[in-house]
Structure 1
Amino acid sequence: MATLILVRHGRSTANTAGVLAGRTPGVHLDERGAAQAAGLPARLAGVPLAAVVSSPLERCRETLQPLLDARPGLTVETDGRIGECDYGDWSGRKLGELADEPLMEVVQQHPSAAAFPGGESMRAMQARAVDAVRDWNARVEQEHGDGAVYAMCSHGDIIKSLVADALGMHLDLFQRIHVEPCSVTAIRYTRTRPFLLRLGDTGDFNSLVPRVSGEEERSEESGRAVVGGGAGAP
């Protein structure tokens, strides 16, 4: 079957502002995010892509544009099923203030029971994304043959939920997974099981360097996952 390359969008203006953008329109890549996107063609230069699929949101389309510019003839198709989680009333709010919401503990510890007010549940988010991947796997294999590779540009929580599905992990464990902006995750699907080949690969190991005293605590050091994926390494 197909090999899927999942690209999280580059760093956005909402990421750096500490805002949970969700499906809010008009959220674009910031300067660093644009630079991350510009580096994507070189990182994938040796990979033949049979298809490219994008979330409808601007930050994903902007992330893919340099790749499309570097490969004339390659087009992108949009699939709303890999669009950002609908955070409902949480959309556009500061992550710092959301940390005190009672629902946040459920999102962190029992996400399969979490449903955002005015939005969708995390179970529904995962189900639609998994359905999209299954459909695209079949389409890509039918049109391009067994072993074809294709790319999807999506969002942190979507990618984490797809990785959890590929690993056979319950959704309640998906907050243990972290993917940085413009990171590449690769999953090879076969008839009997998926294989996770890469996870959150950026080629940059700065986020692994121990903090200097006085630096802001990283989310994973606090034991909490960043809803929406966060801004990545400083």
Structure 2
Amino acid sequence: MTTTFLLVRHAAHDRVGNFLAGRTSDVPLGDAGRAQAKRLAARLAGEDIAAIYASPRRRTQETAAAIAAASAIAEVKIADALDEVDFGSWSGKTFEVLNTDPLWQQWNCRRSLVRTPGGETMLDVQHRVMAFVEALAARDRDKKIALVSHADVIRALICHVLGLSVDAWSRLEVGPASVSAVAAGDWGAKVLTVNADFT
């Protein structure tokens, strides 16, 4: 009995790579991101997805809505466990500004030990996303479920399944609108794909 999770990173917003969107809830997909989401949705339409869960952020909701429409799924369920890392006061800052912050440098070197200012550690993120996946795997056996989330949340989950420290995050590329996949069952879990570009 195996549950397959399609780990979808949201499609691109107009400032991907320029600023840390974090939990800034009103960041929408840009024109390129909407086109990405539409292509991704068309590719996933034949995957027999049973349910879609998404982070509360607008960019994930818009990506999930495109997948739901193409797959004839009536409802996208919001899951706080899939929310972006709580970056605290870093949310909304440009990477140019963040790169001058010594704590930001420490965070990117030792995420297992460093807490964001007023926010989470990567271990917090890993705990919440794994608890959610384990609960779904126990309940929704032999189904394929799409989880629309954020790069670092997906990295945290994959690191856990692979038995890696969260400090290995930078070894995993998780691009906008990419799909990674994990299978889970009573026997454990395994990574099927990482960062597949379906667009």
Q: SS of the counterpart of 1:188? A: strand
Which residue is equivalent to 1:29?
Answer: 29
Q: Indicate if the aligned counterparts of 2:126 and 2:153 stay in contact, CA closer than 8 A.
A: yes
Runs in 1 of length 4+ with deviation above 6 angstroms?
A: none
Which residue is equivalent to 1:58?
Answer: 58
TM-score by length of 1: 0.80
Which residue is equivalent to 2:13?
Answer: 12
**CA deviation profile, 1:79-119 (whole Å, cap 9, x unmatched):** 10110001001011001221121122322221101101111
- Alpha-carbon separation, structure 1, partners of 2:195 and 2:165: 19
Unaligned runs of 5+ in 2: none
- Alpha-carbon separation, structure 1, partners of 2:184 and 2:27: 32
- Alpha-carbon separation, structure 2, partners of 1:64 and 1:193: 27
- Alpha-carbon separation, structure 1, partners of 2:187 and 2:98: 40
Change (3 A) 1:14 1:139: farther
Which residue is equivalent to 2:117?
Answer: 117
Alignment coverage as a number of residue pairs: 198
Which structure's residues are more often strand, by fraction? 2
Percent identity over the alignment?
34
Counterpart among 166, 170, 186 of residue 171 in structure 1: 166
Which residue is equivalent to 2:93?
Answer: 93
- Alpha-carbon separation, structure 2, partners of 1:127 and 1:5: 19
Q: Indicate if the aligned counterparts of 1:14 and 1:27 stay in contact, CA closer than 8 A.
A: no
Following superposition, the deviation at residue 184 of structure 1 comes to 0.3
- Alpha-carbon separation, structure 2, partners of 1:119 and 1:12: 23
State which drifts further: 41-50 or 18-27: 41-50
- Alpha-carbon separation, structure 1, partners of 2:129 and 2:110: 19
- The one-letter amino acid paired with 1:163 is I
Instruction: Name the larger-Rg structure.
Output: 1
- Alpha-carbon separation, structure 1, partners of 2:76 and 2:198: 25
Which residue is equivalent to 1:48?
Answer: 48
In the TM superposition, 1:126-205 aligns within 5 A as 126-141=126-141, 147-203=142-198
